[in-house]
Amino acid sequence: DIQMTQSPSSLSASVGDRVTITCRASQGISNYLAWYQQKPGKVPKLLIYAASTLQSGVPSRFSGSGSGTDFTLTISSLQPEDVATYYCQKYNSALLTFGGGTKVEIK
Amino acid sequence: EVQLLESGGGLVQPGGSLRLSCAASGFTFSSYAMSWVRQAPGKGLEWVSAISGSGGSTYYADSVKGRFTISRDNSKNTLYLQMNSLRAEDTAVYYCAKGGEPVGAAAGLLGYWGQGTLVTVSS
């Protein structure tokens, strides 16, 4: 089974900072990688799919990159409303796997 | 507007059974794969099971294989999860989620989620 490993598990940054979250697959998954945002007490929301394609309505300060085994989610200028836990997910097969999550807080 | 409404959660003893339902509306239900994803209290997301749009193909996480059964009734626009031999570690909020297509890779893109139903396994 392919494992998805995210780092860091949590981070604290200031408003306006550039934030980067990484996700590593234990085997190559091409670009079948999605990112989800879960705000406190809320349902997960699809942010990015195909590693770098923004879901409709997602602010342009979010971006994704990577292919194969190494992927990155970047928030170019952190905003207070971005406080959330972010999860990567591979979907190259019917057996889906989520990463462990990265909790983003404001310093 | 896509709507997914889970029901059937509750308190059950270890070894017991529960059936979750997810009523879907706002889209052509049979045209999309569906998944169940769970989240234990204070923990991350764990994919549980998926089913193709026709219902002909089903998939399970190793942690629930042989104990849980996913099914769907396309005439009723409803997804189900039959959970047997429940364990304390099955305690979680269970979400149903809509895939991006009936089969194939995008079937695993979970673009819409329900609000979840809490399952608590405890004596």
Please give the domain boundaries of chain A with CATH numbers for all domains.
4-95 (2.60.40.10)
Rounded percentage of chain A residues whose pLDDT exceeds 70: 100
Query: Beta A70-75 vs A97-98: how paired, if at all?
Result: unpaired
A26-78 tens-digit pLDDT = 999 999 999 999 999 999 999 999 999 999 999 999 999 999 999 999 999 99
What single DSSP character describes residue B118?
A: E
Instruction: Please answer whether residues B114 and B96 qualify as being in contact, where contact means their C-beta atoms are separated by less than 8 angstroms.
Output: yes
Would you state the pLDDT for residue B103?
82
Would you state the pLDDT for residue A28?
97
Cβ neighbours of A36 in B, within 8 Å: 45, 110
Contact B109 A34 (CB under 8 A): yes
Would you state the pLDDT for residue B65?
98
Q: How far apart are CA B89 and CA A99, in angstroms?
A: 19
* Residues of B (50-69) whose Cβ lies below 8 Å from A: 50, 57, 59, 61-62
Contact A94 B107 (CB under 8 A): yes
Which residue from A minimizes the CA distance to B52? A94
* Residue A24, number of CB atoms within 10 A of its CB: 16
* Residues of B (33-52) whose Cβ lies below 8 Å from A: 35, 37, 44-47, 50
